[in-house]
Structure 1
Amino acid sequence: MSSPTLWRHPGFLRLWAGETASQFGEQFGNLAIPVIAVSVLGASSFEVGLLNTAETLAFLVIGLPAGAWIDRWIKRRVMLRADLVRAVLLALVPVLWFTQVLAFWQLLVIGTAVGICSVFFDVGYQSFIPTLVRREQIAEANGKLETTAQIARIAGPAAAGGLLTILAAPLLLAVTAVTYLASFFALTTIADTETPKPAAERRPLAIEIREGLVWVFRQPLLVRIVLCTALSNLFGTIALTMMPVLVLRELHLSPAVYGLIGSAGAVGGLLGAAMSSRISRRIGEGHAIPAAALLGGVAMLVLPLSTVWTPAAIPVLIGSEFFFSAAVLVYNIAQVSFRQRICPPELLGRMNASIRFIVWGVMPLGGFASGLLSVWIGVVPTVWVGVVGNLLGAMPVVFSALWMMRTLPTTANGVGGAGEPPASSFEPGAEPESARPTDPLA
């Protein structure tokens, strides 16, 4: 019997509508912030790396406790508060610019605060989907959400690049603030199906955090995926942090071209999102993950070749972004759906936060390293370090049992391996467990 279509799921449709709006606005912000830093405030390559560090630092600092807190709270309400605070913070940038007091340190502070909100929203969001839709609908839900996200990434950067020719970059952040408000109001129309975890059932935060980490590290396939994602994100951040400097300063291309390159990547991402289910069926779920990781590494490897012969810079950058984004989306949809499927519901927040702590916690380190390396060895050599390391990051899944698995397990016990205790078992006294997300990798 086939599962009911998500087209008749009011809660999912509202979530989807809100996320579509905020994804479009986010593309304006993703383009506007580095342009503000480089072109409006005259930031150095080291400062660009520092800004990237500030925007992602929260995943390293509060990622783990955020997951434990989200498992205690109602996830939709966490997302509501995060959307509202992000809207207010981003609206401050055009106000500060208009009053002629905008400074780089203010951009750092706002970027850090928005990053904190994003930790709570992203962990809550990935943990909310399995509570909103049926288990057999999770992959379809992720596919639909990622498809519209890629449509936004196609239209958003190109539109933003065009608008930057007639508008000041800070004004684009006002649009992002409005779209976060749209997401906020969409979430207010979804009924809660959760209740907060009773205070009497809560244990010390450190124990609950440990349970999430222990669960993740008891899954051999998941550990391979996490290692691949972390290495790819670390080195990918080193390379991509220098993208605005490479495009705008080294190659002397315009913000409009920078937006066009992002749109080309989004076209690839849209193709990857739309084809992910078909690819997984054709070559196998297990095969899709290492194949996509390898393709993404090769695609990024050609990125610095844009500086070898500058007349070919634009097509080289477009091609690299296209295939890299397509591979990332196939990889993300396959592995995120896999881990959502096998995780018990009471551990979803901690599982997602534990993985995000590892795979996104390396990003501020990569951003800071990118800034330092750009000063020591230059922008282009820094990009080479990042793209080579990103390719090598695929090796944990390339050399794994995933190549021999057409179908991935649907329960944690199917992942744990022979002779292991059930994946939902922790130390004595643990509560019994019932059955049941650039682009960076998720």
Structure 2
Amino acid sequence: MATDDLRRSFLRPRASGLAHNRDFRLLWIGESVSKFGTAIATLVMPLVAVGILNSSTFVVTVLSAALWMPWFVIGLPAGAWVDRLPKRPLMITCGWVSAGLLATVPIAAWLGVLTSVHLVVVAILTGTVNVLFSAAYQSYLPMVVERQHSAEANAKLQGSESVAQLAGPSVGGLLAQVVGAVLGVLADALSYVVSAVCLMRMRTVEPEIKPPAGRTSLRGEIAVGLRFVGRDPYMRALTIYGGAANLFAGAFEAIVVVYLVRDVGVSAGAVGVLIAVTGVGGIVGALITTRLARWLGSARAILVCELAGMPFALLIPLTDAGFGLTFFVVGGLIVNAAIVVSSVLGASFRQTYCPPSLLGRVTAATRVVSYGALPFGALIAGALGTWLGLTTTMWITCGALALCGLILFASPVRGAKEFPVAPAGEPDESRQETILSPRRPT
């Protein structure tokens, strides 16, 4: 049965070959360091804008939005380009380019020529490079890791990202205070160097890319990926769910700090502690994913997390000063854990389910929807917060997050215990050789 392979991904984690997979260790180390550097930069880049350049609030907002803007412009063609190109060389190039772009910020600051425009341009260009890297990375991982270990690999990578998101801003704040914010940007640049070097030391040889039969245009190749996502019932449901969930997650993230400070009365320092504590939920989610999927099944685990975990978001608008902060901590911990479990299982499903020749385009299409929803959610939250007030907007946002799981409940996910590893009617053996047995140097 096709689902047996995906189930074995969770049933045999202790027999995993990941501990002895040199290339996965290198990929994991490089990505973990890079994510840690990026988490530092999310704090220090705005500090550079505010503290050194005295930029306006609008400029700081544009700086944040610039990281996601490239998904609207090149997200879909990036997937088609990635499917045409060798993945590892592209990822290495992206790492060096990102390092070079970020290094221009401290150099310009030391020369006294740094401007707000410079920061925004660097954010846009690094965001563009990240689109290409992200699509290539999702397509390359199944070549490095055998399919039965894909869920464990994604859980490890997601766990590292959660740790980075938890510790990175704190380290960034310390760097900014001790040695200056521009050196925090330099730390992010160096993290991309580490990632590129790790990729260069990997030995996995990619399968030969076979050009499609007949001459096809870039638009035609993009359309093939979009049709796959739009027509497949599982991919369609997960993509719609991802867009809806990120729409309201973007709204939540846009107002949570202001809500805690202005409506709840929490100090700025305590806000950082509260958000860091709830981030532990993401680490817990990464640790329990394989066990939860082994117990419930991969598809059912996602559904249970969404229907049982996400309603805890409704505790967050109950937050009050003093003991009332417990509502925020408990709600945030459980919601973050549920989000990470769903993200790991969703990524593992996509990597095993999509034909390798389409994976770049499918990844790009799903992320254009999910990442593209984030800035719209922020704009909606800003408008509602101004019109209705922060607490009311928080109730709307958290209520919507709690209901997003109904999208999956109304889809074929509801009737499945395990996700399939191939679309109905497609022979699985043809892709097994590609994913399970990537060519390696002799």
Q: Shared fold (TM-score greater than 0.5)? A: yes
The structure-2 alpha-carbon separation of the partners of 1:32 and 1:65, relative to structure 1 and needing over 3 Å to count, comes to same
Could you list the runs of 5+ residues in structure 2 that have no partner in the other structure?
1-7, 435-442
How much has 1:331 moved relative to structure 2? 0.3
| Whole-angstrom distance in 1 between the partners of 2:379 and 2:277 | 27
C-alpha distance after superposition, 1:339-377 (max 9, x if no partner): 211111111111111111221122232334444555555
Q: In structure 2, what is the equivalent of residue 174 of structure 1?
A: 186
CA contact (8 A) 1:238 1:385 kept: no
Q: How does 1:263-302 map to 2 (within 5 A)?
A: 263-295=276-308, 297-302=310-315
One-letter amino acid matched to 1:180: Y
C-alpha distance after superposition, 1:194-227 (max 9, x if no partner): 4455598662111111111111122212211111
| Whole-angstrom distance in 1 between the partners of 2:172 and 2:48 | 13
Match of 2:145 among 127, 133, 141: 133
Normalising by structure 2, what TM-score?
A: 0.83
CA contact (8 A) 2:349 2:421 kept: yes
CA contact (8 A) 1:27 1:156 kept: yes
Match of 2:350 among 339, 342, 352: 339
| Whole-angstrom distance in 2 between the partners of 1:47 and 1:40 | 13
Q: In structure 2, what is the equivalent of residue 409 of structure 1?
A: 420
How much has 1:297 moved relative to structure 2? 3.3
CA contact (8 A) 1:285 1:406 kept: yes
One-letter amino acid matched to 2:398: V
Q: In structure 2, what is the equivalent of residue 367 of structure 1?
A: 378
CA contact (8 A) 1:239 1:370 kept: yes
Greater mean deviation of Cα atoms: 218-227 or 193-202:
193-202
Q: Secondary structure at the match of 1:409?
A: coil
One-letter amino acid matched to 1:158: S
Q: In structure 2, what is the equivalent of residue 146 of structure 1?
A: 158
Q: In structure 2, what is the equivalent of residue 238 of structure 1?
A: 251
CA contact (8 A) 2:175 2:183 kept: no
Alignment pair present for 1:183 and 2:186: no
One-letter amino acid matched to 2:28: W
| Whole-angstrom distance in 1 between the partners of 2:198 and 2:152 | 20
Q: Secondary structure at the match of 2:167?
A: helix
CA contact (8 A) 1:228 1:394 kept: yes
CA contact (8 A) 2:233 2:411 kept: no
How much has 1:273 moved relative to structure 2? 0.6
| Whole-angstrom distance in 2 between the partners of 1:52 and 1:360 | 13
CA contact (8 A) 2:176 2:182 kept: no
How many equivalent pairs are there? 417
How much has 1:337 moved relative to structure 2? 0.8
One-letter amino acid matched to 2:243: A
Match of 2:228 among 203, 215, 220: 215
How much has 1:265 moved relative to structure 2? 3.3
The structure-2 alpha-carbon separation of the partners of 1:122 and 1:40, relative to structure 1 and needing over 3 Å to count, comes to same
* Percent of residue pairs bearing the same amino acid type: 32
Q: How does 1:26-425 map to 2 (within 5 A)?
A: 26-36=38-48, 48-99=60-111, 101-191=113-203, 192-198=205-211, 203-246=216-259, 251=265, 253-254=267-268, 257-295=270-308, 297-306=310-319, 309-312=320-323, 315-374=326-385, 376=387, 381-413=392-424, 422=425
| Whole-angstrom distance in 1 between the partners of 2:418 and 2:354 | 17
| Whole-angstrom distance in 1 between the partners of 2:215 and 2:152 | 33
CA contact (8 A) 2:101 2:122 kept: yes
Greater mean deviation of Cα atoms: 296-305 or 334-343:
296-305
How much has 1:113 moved relative to structure 2? 1.6
C-alpha distance after superposition, 1:164-216 (max 9, x if no partner): 44343333221111111100110111233244555986621111111111111
C-alpha distance after superposition, 1:103-160 (max 9, x if no partner): 4443332222221111111111111111222221211211222222223333323333
C-alpha distance after superposition, 1:366-392 (max 9, x if no partner): 334444555555555554443333233
